[in-house]
Structure 1
Amino acid sequence: MKITTIVRADRMYLASLFQGKKETRYYLNGVYVHQHAGGINVAATDGHTMAVLREDVGMAVEPQIIALPKAALQVIQSKRADSKSHWLVITDEGARSRRRGYIFRHVLSDEEHLADVLTAELSNVVSLAEAWSGIVEIIDGTFPNYISVIPEIGERSGTPAIQARYMDRFTKVATFRGNAMPAMGLWARDQMAPVLVDIADQDDFVGVVMPVRCELRGPKMPAWAQKDVSASEPKVSSTRKARVTEAA
């Protein structure tokens, strides 16, 4: 038994909120875990929204599209108060499309190399603090080049229209780790460009939501939403107006 994947469990759970559910695009129905830029990227998208989370101390022997069972996701959600100490470990046990996975609590110590520790002491660690074990589906498919979708922040013009129902996913990401009043920033190059979602205090997260075609009112507000200038002018009685006119 060898470890093939190590990812902090909450990152897998949060990414799974963005994965697809359609059979026609089955390769989106999981979380893509792979090595990238000296660490591990955890990415998922359904074509409308996308989440990318960063795993700096994890392990990914090979790229995999991982679909966690509902029971595993429920366990991770139940451990949200201690989310930073729970890890998903996938081994090479089982068939290529069905691997044995574990979720357990392991607190990192200073200067600890997680992959080395768990590879050397897998059976002991799992048996001591196992929260869940079961079969994890590995989807055989090619995940799209999601990096190319992430917008570059530069000069911006226009206001994209976003379907409100998609923003709920980002709210869940923002509140999962205990932030009751999260702040989010939205950035886009133009009206039809992918929108970058930046969540405060979530340094391991990058989100993207695709805009929709919609007629917005634009920067000009209707008259009933603007300041009534006439209401701020001092009122003068008709008698006083007449006296002022006679004097002139």
Structure 2
Amino acid sequence: MATRTQAEPQAGAQGEPQVQDKRIPKTRIRAGTLRAALKDVTGVVEGRNTTPVLANVVLEVIDQRLTLTATDLDIWAVRDCATDDRSGPDCKAWLDTIRMFSVCLPAKPLEAVLAEFDADAMVTIEAPAEIDARWAGQVTVRAGKARFRLHALPVADFPLLGAMEIDAGFEMRCSALADAMAGVDHAISTDETRYYLNGIYLHPDNLDLRLATTDGSRLALWSIDGPDGAASFPSVIVSRKTVAVLEKLLAGAIKAADEKAEPPRVLVEANAAGSRLRFAMPAEDGGEVEIVAKTIDGTFPDYRRVIPDAPEHRATIGRSALAAAVKRMAVLADGKSRAMKIHFAPGQMTLSVRTPELGDGSEELDCAYDGPEIEMGFDSRYLRELLGAIASDTVALQFNPDALGAVRAAGWVPDAGGGAGSETGPLLQVIMPVRV
């Protein structure tokens, strides 16, 4: 993690006058580089803070490297990037006049200022020569003839995180973790009273690494081969906000990756108690970004008990066709219950909605099903999100004769030889029917 470091004048021997350091605490960096780096950490900054310093970000410059740190006391985001202090024909003279420093600036105003500069504009950040960890005052930010002065708070008041003891860890491709989180995040509960469901349950299971989410009405489970070190990783619940921050950073790392180079990887580490996690990955400009986050202190329920093991009936259908039909029928679904009926009959499923204030609608779809006629009700939004998370062309809905039992949903690969086929992909979902 970033550490506070402040250059101080060195006192001479006893009786000798102290040599004054005439260098200025300042740095220069391209607006686009700083803007991208700032964007990577401001995701953890809350819009409203009762503690003013939490609306700020710490900028620390050491050896021509800039480190940005932001926190909400549950998540710390740290971003590293190179400055342009060594760029330009005047770099030798420039380096002779600058010294390392750290300042605590308001995150959103700084982001707004940088947004007004051209990406290639050279931005200079300069603080008064007398600054130390307790200093508060104004820091100058300028590019070309534009100059802004932003109020800075004491760096000593900012709650920087100390060193984290690492007990377990593993490394995997950024794309693999991004796909896994995107596949299950729609089922994260937003019910704050059941806080232990407000995140992704990340845990080893034999030789697999699993990510599970549920809100009590649905379940999403992503299973992949565990990377080296995952078997000894503690079972943790990664908070919803941490997941949102990580998804943006992982997407940035993937987007910026060189197609000819090795795919970017993310390092995932935990302390012995599993109370804190650290994620470190490449940033867009060649630097690094890391997230240190507290996990949710709670017990995730045993989700295995709600997964139908061997459902008696199965209906398979094109995923995109079913998703489009659900979207159309949802137009008339009641705003509160969002209820939709699905009637299963041999070779066919019929979707229907009825809302007293609006009217009704129905649509028939061909499907592979040879069981008895069964009618179930579902939350239309849950159905859309379930189908949106599945990557395969065909989806299988599996259920037992009891129309109120859990329905198992997964991608499906039909057997080319005329057999039944099989589930495919790392994602398994369960959705509970609703009474209509």
TM-score range (shorter-chain normalised) is: 0.5 to 0.7
For 1:15 and 1:86, how far apart are their aligned partners in 2?
A: 22
* 1:200 aligns to 2:415 (yes or no): no
Q: Structure 1 residues 136, 168: closer, same or farther in 2, change over 3 A? A: farther
Aligned twin of 2:131: none
Aligned twin of 1:22: 191
Q: Over residues 4-40 of structure 1, what are the superposed CA-to-partner deviations in whole Å (9 max), with x where a residue is unaligned?
A: 3556312123222211111101001111122213222
Aligned twin of 2:238: 66
Give the counterpart of 2:210 among 36, 41, 47: 41
Measure how far apart 1:152 and its partner are: 2.1
Aligned twin of 2:293: 136
Aligned twin of 2:383: 167
For 1:38 and 1:147, how far apart are their aligned partners in 2?
A: 17
Measure how far apart 1:48 and its partner are: 1.6
**Which of the pair is proportionally richer in strand?**
2
Q: Over residues 168-227 of structure 1, what are the superposed CA-to-partner deviations in whole Å (9 max), with x where a residue is unaligned?
A: 22233225xxx6xx322211112100110112364211111111011xxxxxxxxxxxxx
1:66-105 matched pairs, under 5 angstroms: 66-67=238-239, 68-77=242-251, 79=254, 85=263, 87-92=265-270, 97-104=275-282
3-state SS, counterpart of residue 390 of structure 2:
helix
* Maintained 8 Å contact 1:28/1:143: yes
3-state SS, counterpart of residue 154 of structure 1:
coil
- After alignment, is 15-24 or 93-102 more displaced? 93-102
TM-score of the two chains, using structure 1 as the length reference: 0.63
Letter matched to residue 411 of structure 2? I
Q: Structure 1 residues 205, 87: closer, same or farther in 2, change over 3 A? A: farther
TM-score of the two chains, using structure 2 as the length reference: 0.38
For 1:80 and 1:146, how far apart are their aligned partners in 2?
A: 34
For 2:294 and 2:182, how far apart are their aligned partners in 1?
A: 15
Measure how far apart 1:160 and its partner are: 2.3
For 1:209 and 1:95, how far apart are their aligned partners in 2?
A: 32
Letter matched to residue 396 of structure 2? G
* 1:188 aligns to 2:399 (yes or no): yes
Letter matched to residue 100 of structure 1? R
* Maintained 8 Å contact 2:265/2:282: yes
For 1:81 and 1:162, how far apart are their aligned partners in 2?
A: 40
Letter matched to residue 21 of structure 1? T
For 1:99 and 1:185, how far apart are their aligned partners in 2?
A: 36
Q: Structure 1 residues 3, 44: closer, same or farther in 2, change over 3 A? A: same
Letter matched to residue 269 of structure 2? T
Identical-residue share of aligned pairs (%): 25
For 2:234 and 2:287, how far apart are their aligned partners in 1?
A: 26
Q: Structure 1 residues 129, 169: closer, same or farther in 2, change over 3 A? A: farther
For 1:73 and 1:80, how far apart are their aligned partners in 2?
A: 12
Give the counterpart of 1:149 among 293, 302, 306: 306
* Maintained 8 Å contact 2:407/2:431: yes
Gaps of 5+ in 1: 106-126, 215-248
Aligned twin of 1:111: none
Q: Max radius of gyration: which structure? A: 2
Letter matched to residue 135 of structure 1? V
Aligned twin of 2:169: 4
* Maintained 8 Å contact 2:211/2:221: yes
Where in structure 1 do 4 or more consecutive aligned residues deviate above 6 Å?
Answer: none
* Maintained 8 Å contact 2:311/2:398: no
Q: Structure 1 residues 206, 95: closer, same or farther in 2, change over 3 A? A: closer
**Which of the pair is proportionally richer in helix?**
1
3-state SS, counterpart of residue 33 of structure 1:
strand
Letter matched to residue 395 of structure 2? M
Aligned twin of 1:56: 225
For 1:191 and 1:81, how far apart are their aligned partners in 2?
A: 48
Which has the bigger relative contact order, CA under 8 A and spacing at least 6?
1
Q: Over residues 70-113 of structure 1, what are the superposed CA-to-partner deviations in whole Å (9 max), with x where a residue is unaligned?
A: 2222233454898xx555433236996443222459xxxxxxxx
- After alignment, is 20-29 or 199-208 more displaced? 199-208
* Maintained 8 Å contact 2:390/2:427: no
